[in-house]
């Protein structure tokens, strides 16, 4: 499931913003299709424009979600349940849900495959993708009196990057935490999360560098991606 609402405050029209010659959401659609791991693949949106672009890149929208499920404060889970319920009403049910946010366009098909493999190997769990940030002892808090207090411990810290989330459907529906959360570690350069124009410029730079090094193998294309969209 690719959750992609139409609104965005800091980067208007974010999910359709151009990135390396394609709308932002297209990069996630193509990586998802190219992974070849999904029995069904859908975009979850309130926007007819986003739905149309996703469909052009092989990912259908079963039905637009209502405006009340596309606000800034709308929990992602509520939007996910809306689509799961709509699919169940037409006879489609799934044991596992993978969320791929279009604001993480540098995740690869291989990242999707490996995150799902980790989910299966570590079950019961949920999997979240993370990227390394800095050593823990570089971080700290500034106390009310201005003192800087270093965080305890050592080793790298990691941040959620939004690229891949894997859940058991039952956990999502019942709103319960999985037995444990397992982190799928991605390199920082593939874990860019686009929220501002500067993020978009940085992603453009990283994609240009990747494609310059890898040539045609740098990204999935509509030509070489397997078809997806409904139950196989």
Burial, 232: exposed, middle or buried (Cβ in 10 Å; 0-12, 13-18, 19+)?
A: exposed
Question: Rounded to an integer, what is the distance from CA 59 to the centroid of its chain?
Answer: 15
- Whether residue 117 lies inside any domain: the answer is yes
- Whether residue 225 lies inside any domain: the answer is no
- Whether residue 122 lies inside any domain: the answer is yes
Would you say 15 and 8 are in contact if contact means Cβ atoms under 8 Å apart?
yes
Would you say 57 and 30 are in contact if contact means Cβ atoms under 8 Å apart?
yes
Two structure tokens written together for 97 = 């849900």
**Which 8-state DSSP code applies to residue 27?**
H
pLDDT, position 53: 97
Alpha-carbon span 75 to 202, nearest angstrom: 28
Would you say 167 and 123 are in contact if contact means Cβ atoms under 8 Å apart?
no
- Whether residue 66 lies inside any domain: the answer is yes
**pLDDT tens digits, 115-158:** 999 999 999 999 999 999 999 999 999 999 999 999 888 899 99
**pLDDT tens digits, 65-118:** 998 888 877 888 899 999 999 999 999 999 999 999 999 999 999 999 999 999
What φ, ψ does residue 20 adopt, rounded to 5°?
55, 40
Alpha-carbon span 82 to 88, nearest angstrom: 10
- Whether residue 224 lies inside any domain: the answer is no
- CATH code for the domain of 24: 3.90.550.10
Tell me which residue range forms the domain holding 145. 2-218
- Whether residue 228 lies inside any domain: the answer is no
- Whether residue 106 lies inside any domain: the answer is yes
Sign of the alpha-carbon dihedral angle for 85, 89, 92, 95: positive
Number of structural domains in the chain: 1
Q: What is the pTM of this model?
A: 0.87
Question: Rounded to an integer, what is the distance from CA 182 to the centroid of its chain?
Answer: 16
Which residues, 6+ apart, have CB-to-CB distance to 131 below 8 Å?
158, 159, 161, 185, 186, 187, 188, 190, 191
**pLDDT tens digits, 186-199:** 999 999 999 999 99
Which residues, 6+ apart, have CB-to-CB distance to 63 below 8 Å?
83, 86
- Whether residue 35 lies inside any domain: the answer is yes
């Amino acid at each position: 499931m690719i959750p992609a609402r139409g609104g965005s405050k800091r980067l208007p029209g974010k999910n359709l913003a151009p990135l390396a010659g394609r709308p932002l959401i297209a990069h996630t659609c193509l990586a998802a299709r190219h992974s070849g791991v999904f029995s069904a693949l859908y975009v979850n949106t309130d926007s007819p424009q986003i739905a149309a672009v996703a469909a052009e890149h092989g990912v259908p929208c079963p039905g637009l979600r209502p405006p009340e499920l596309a606000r800034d404060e709308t929990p992602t889970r509520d939007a996910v349940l809306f689509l799961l319920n709509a699919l169940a009403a037409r006879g489609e049910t799934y044991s596992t849900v993978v969320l791929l946010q279009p604001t993480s366009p540098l995740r690869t098909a291989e990242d999707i495959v490996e995150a799902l493999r980790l989910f299966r190997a570590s079950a019961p769990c949920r999997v979240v993708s993370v990227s390394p940030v800095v050593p823990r002892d570089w971080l700290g808090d500034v106390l009310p009196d201005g003192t800087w207090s270093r965080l305890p411990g050592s080793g790298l810290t990691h941040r959620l990057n939004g690229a891949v989330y894997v859940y058991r459907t039952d956990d999502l529906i019942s709103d319960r935490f999985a037995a444990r959360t397992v982190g799928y570690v991605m390199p920082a350069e593939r874990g860019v999360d686009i929220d501002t124009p500067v993020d978009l410029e940085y992603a453009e730079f990283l994609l240009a560098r990747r494609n310059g090094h890898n040539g045609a193998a740098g990204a999935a294309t509509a030509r070489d991606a397997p078809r997806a969209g409904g139950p196989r």
